[in-house]
Structure 1
Amino acid sequence: MDTAALDAFDQQLRRDLSPGDGHTAVERTARLTRQVSTIPQGWSGIVWSDLDEDTADAAIAAEVARFRGVAGFEWKHYHHDRPADLPARLLAAGLTAGPDEAVLVAEAAAVPDFAPPAGVTLLDVTDAAGIERAVDVHGDVFGYDVGGLRARLLAQLAAAPDTLDMVLAVAGDVAVSAARTEYYPGTEFAGLWGGGTLEPWRGKGIYKALVSHRARRAQARGARYLQVDALPTSGPILARVGFTRLTTTTPYTFG
């Protein structure tokens, strides 16, 4: 599965990426694919490159000149990208490396079903109020400013609701965890994002329940693969439910 999945991932979610949510443009050259947000709070970046020792520096310089000062710009470097010293060249151009993330993939149909723990219910988000509630959970869990995420998801819900699934785990009236799925039209993939759980509720199986819930919804939507950029906290859990590592990605941003 690894080779076929990696080839599909590189082609469908990187080189031939679809704009998807209605608020992004995708620009392709022979050497690069970039996603460019058409709204201020959106994400822009390089999602695929095919460079070599002779073309890398000029390509990097052109992208730095274009995107310097653009909030949310990121060069997503994958560790199988060429040339081998691309990370050093990105650093030399003034970009800053973020933490490594494991790119994990599973066949949606192979993910087992996990029920949430007693007292916890999973609720599918269908409106702006639900988005607000889910984003607030992300802010509490991850401790960063969620203003940009809030604006982007609300815009996505309004413009392209079929590209987004969001789910809340609630205990009584309290939202204790939130996660989302992003769909990429014309591909075999659905991306799992978020999955943050409030500290007192961790270790109870909520994250696994959110993964299986989203797997069933993705299956119903025709997605073959589930893809996650996983931090060390979630990677081991995902490995236990059938995800395998394709590659590693590192974000490079303006410092």
Structure 2
Amino acid sequence: MTSPEHLLAAYDAQLRTVAETASAESVRRLGPLHLARYEGGRGFVTYRDLDGADADQIAAWVRGAARHYRSDPRFVEVEWKTRGHDVAPGLGDALAAAGFVPEAPESIMLGEARGLAGAPDVPGVTVRQVLDEPTIRAMAVMQDEVFGSHLADRMVGEITRRLAGGDPLQVWVAEAEGEIVSAGRLEPVDGSDVAGIWGGATLAPWRGRGIYRALTAARARAALDLGKTLIHSESTERSRPILERAGLVCISTTTPYVLTI
């Protein structure tokens, strides 16, 4: 089994900066920072590391990033993605001073795809990849119900745009009794050994039956078919145990800080 240290090194080398912003409409640099712009007025800040900068330099970069986004009327919200293993003195205080608000931390999970690929099918449940807009919309509406969000229109627009442009993104659903009861995406990372599994959601009455596990297994098998040997996810405490039982390892944490423009 791959060691946690090796997995963390693979994460830093293969899944930060360019890999994270491949679907952005534009990316601007500020020191080590990558300042991305996405459809719908969303901004995103990431970096490989902070070059050993001290608290004063980090605070200056935070202020510069905030000015960049606030000066452009296209932006409505910006996420600054922090990682628990980064050396970043004073970053949290600098983000708070600039108006960024921390959200709940999540676990960064990484592991071998083959460890997730063997889950059995669930009787009465069909797991399949979908491409058509009506099914993608139904999936997004279900995810809004699960997460208590209102992102379906934005999600459908982004997914359909990416698929139309040849993006290797895959959308998977689990259906039972004529409705979508669970869903998630598979996002192969170009030029890497990794595919990400994102957006996993299961309707409350259908939890605890192995459906999410079967959905994850289907995505892992699809990743292996694409030559991807590692699976990455950032999970809540609800889904983390499922992924750990399948062999993924918590290698760090991530806390998003959000600035509302």
Q: TM-score of the superposition, structure 2-length normalised? A: 0.89
Partner of 1:62: 64
Q: Secondary structure at the match of 1:99?
A: coil
Please list the CA deviations of residues 69-123 of structure 1 after superposition, one character each: whole Å capped at 9, or x if unmatched.
6234100000122223311221122110000000001111222411232111102
Distance 1:131 1:170 in 2: 13
Partner of 1:47: 46
- Opposite residue 175 of structure 2, the aligned amino acid is V
How many residues were matched structurally? 251
Point out the more displaced range, 84-93 or 194-203. Answer: 84-93
Partner of 2:15: 13
Please list the CA deviations of residues 156-197 of structure 1 after superposition, one character each: whole Å capped at 9, or x if unmatched.
1211342x1111110131111111111221122111111111
Q: 1:111, 1:215 within 8 Å by CA — same for their partners in 2?
A: yes
Q: 1:76, 1:251 within 8 Å by CA — same for their partners in 2?
A: yes
Q: Secondary structure at the match of 1:200?
A: helix
Match for 1:140 among 127, 145, 166?
A: 145
Partner of 1:158: 164
Distance 1:155 1:96 in 2: 30
Q: TM-score of the superposition, structure 1-length normalised? A: 0.91
Report the alpha carbon displacement of residue 213 of structure 1 after superposing the two structures with TM. Answer: 0.7
Distance 1:13 1:52 in 2: 24
Q: Secondary structure at the match of 2:87?
A: coil
Report the alpha carbon displacement of residue 26 of structure 1 after superposing the two structures with TM. Answer: 3.6
Partner of 2:35: 34
Q: Secondary structure at the match of 2:16?
A: helix
Distance 2:116 2:28 in 1: 34
Match for 1:187 among 181, 189, 192?
A: 192
Match for 1:167 among 172, 176, 179?
A: 172
Distance 2:256 2:92 in 1: 10
Q: Percent identity?
A: 31
Q: 1:104, 1:244 within 8 Å by CA — same for their partners in 2?
A: yes
CA distance 1:120–1:244, change in 2 (3 Å): same
- Opposite residue 54 of structure 1, the aligned amino acid is D
Q: Secondary structure at the match of 1:54?
A: helix
Partner of 1:24: 25
Distance 1:100 1:80 in 2: 13
Q: 1:18, 1:26 within 8 Å by CA — same for their partners in 2?
A: no
Describe how 1:1-255 pairs up with structure 2 within 5 A: 1-17=3-19, 19-21=21-23, 23-28=24-29, 30-37=31-38, 39-40=39-40, 43-48=42-47, 49-50=49-50, 51-68=53-70, 70-146=75-151, 147-162=153-168, 164-255=169-260
Report the alpha carbon displacement of residue 130 of structure 1 after superposing the two structures with TM. Answer: 2.3
Distance 2:20 2:205 in 1: 39
Point out the more displaced range, 52-61 or 100-109. Answer: 52-61
* Structure 1: stretches of 5+ with no match in the other structure: none
Q: Secondary structure at the match of 2:45?
A: strand
- Opposite residue 160 of structure 2, the aligned amino acid is L
Point out the more displaced range, 95-104 or 147-156. Answer: 147-156
Q: Secondary structure at the match of 2:15?
A: helix
Q: 1:169, 1:177 within 8 Å by CA — same for their partners in 2?
A: yes
* Structure 2: stretches of 5+ with no match in the other structure: none
Distance 1:148 1:63 in 2: 24
Report the alpha carbon displacement of residue 4 of structure 1 after superposing the two structures with TM. Answer: 2.1
Distance 2:97 2:195 in 1: 34
Report the alpha carbon displacement of residue 19 of structure 1 after superposing the two structures with TM. Answer: 4.4
Q: 2:7, 2:111 within 8 Å by CA — same for their partners in 1?
A: no
